[in-house]
Amino acid sequence: MVCPKGITILATVLLCSLTAGKAQATDSAAAWGADLRLRVVDLNRIPTEAARTWPENRFLRVRSRLWGSYQITPQLSCSARLVNEWREYGHDKGTNNYQSLDEVVLDNLYIDLDNLFNHRLNLRIGRQDLTYGTGKILRIGTPLDSSRTYYFNAVKASLHLDSLQADFLALQVAAEDELAIHSRDRPLLEGDENGGGLYIKNNRFPSVPQEYYYFYKHEQRAANLNLHTVGLRFMPKFSEQLTANLEMAKQAGHRQHETSAGGELLDLSLFYRLPPWRRLNSRLDLSYYYLSGDDPHSRTDEAWQPLWARYPQYMSYTMVRAQVPHFAAWSNISMPSTGLVVDITSRLKLATRLALVYAPEEGPGGGHKKGTLFVCRLAYTINKKWRANFHLEVMDPDDYYSVSHGHGHYSHFELRHRF
C-alpha cells in the first residue's frame, strides 16, 4: 500500500532541497507554464440506471493550472502543478461545492530519477498522471471531480530491455484530497483505493506491437473489493492503410463476506485510412466493445469493474452519466459502433461515432437494449496557444431503462489557452 502523505512529503522535501541548488544551474534548467480551460455544458433527459433521467442543466466550468519543473542534474528533476476549478450552474444545483474559488489542488508533485543502471531504469515518485493503452484499464484516479484532476499517488519504475519496457506500479488515491489548500471536502472517490501492478510493452515484432498487464486493486466501500485483473493487447499493422486493436482482460476476486467477483472485457477495432480526397485525410473504424454485467440470479458478481478508467470512454459523456447511481462505472455493455475521423484542414478535425448500445444483462426496464448513441466532436486549433472544440451527443434510449423521456443529449463548447 502506498502512503500518499509519505510520497508527497518525500517529493516535497526533495523538491525544496534540490531547488536550493538553483543558483548552480543554468537558466534553461527551469521551466514553467499555465493553462486555462473554459467549458460550457448543456445536458437534458439522459436516462440512468437509477430509474430517473438527468434534468435539464447548463453550467460553466473554469479550470486553471500552473505548473513548473526543474532539471537538477541530467538524471534528476522535479515537477509540480497547481489546479483550481469553479463552476456556475444555470439551474438549481442544490449544493454546489464547486462554487468557491479558493480551493487549490496540488495535482502533480513528483521527482524523476532517469537513466539509472546504465540507462535501464527510470523512476517517478509522487503525485502524477498515468495512462496506458487506450485507457480502458488505467487512465484516471479521481473520477468524481469529472476531469478537474486525473492524478494518482504513485511510484512508477520503468525498466527498459531492448525492445521491451516493463512498468512496475504502486498506486493510491484517497476519497478526498488530504493536501488540498483551503479544502472544500470535494469527493474524488466513494472510498479510498490502492493497488498496483505490472504493464509490459513488447515491440519486438514491429508489425504486431503487444502489451500485457496485471493489476491488483483494493476498494474501501460498504462491500470492500479485492480484485485481480490480467489482460493483453495486440495492435497488428496489416498495411499502411489497415490496422487493428484487440484487447482482452479477465478479472477475479472477492467482495466482503467472501462474495466472488470477476468480469470480462473485450475491445476490438479495425481501422482503415481512406485514400485522400480533395486534401481530406480520414480514417474509418468498425469497433465492438464488451463489458460483462452482473447476473442478479447468481451468487457471483460477474460485472466488469472499470479499475481506474471511469471517464468518457469512446468519447461518450452520456454513457458516463447513464451509469448513475455509480458514476462512470463502465459495465454491462455490448456495443458495436462505427467511427469516422476527418482532418478537414491541418487545424480542423471532425470525429463522429454511431453506436448501438446493448446490455448482456437486462436493466431496470426489463430489456437488453440501452439505445442508439451518436457522438460528434469538432476540434479547431486557433493558434499555438488557443484551441477550441464543440462536442455533441444524442441518445435514443430503449427498453433497458425504466424511465426515459425522449431523446437525451449532452453538449459542450470548450476553449483552452496555454500561456
Query: What nine digits make up the cell of 80?
Result: 509540480
CB-side neighbour CA atoms (13 Å) of 68: 8
pLDDT digits (tens, 9 = 90+) for 42-93: 999 999 998 889 888 999 999 999 999 999 999 999 999 999 999 998 865 6
User: For residue 254, what are the contacts with CB-CB under 8 A and spacing of at least 6?
Assistant: 225, 226, 260, 261
Other CB atoms within 10 A of residue 348 CB: 12
Model-level pTM?
Answer: 0.90
Query: What are 371-390's pLDDT values in tens digits?
Result: 999 999 999 999 999 999 99
CB under 8 Å to 9, separation ≥6 — which residues? none
Q: What is the mean pLDDT of residues 102-127?
A: 96
124: its cell numbers: 517517478
173-205: buried (b, 16+ CB within 10 Å) or exposed (e) per residue?
bbbebebbeeeeebebbbebbbbbbbbbbbeee
* Longest CA pairwise span in the chain (Å): 69
pLDDT surpassing 50 at residue 13? no
Other beta carbons within 10 Å of 365: 19
Our count of domains for the chain comes to 1
CATH code of 391's domain: 2.40.160.100
Q: Looking at residue 268, what is its pLDDT?
A: 99
348: domain range? Answer: 4-418
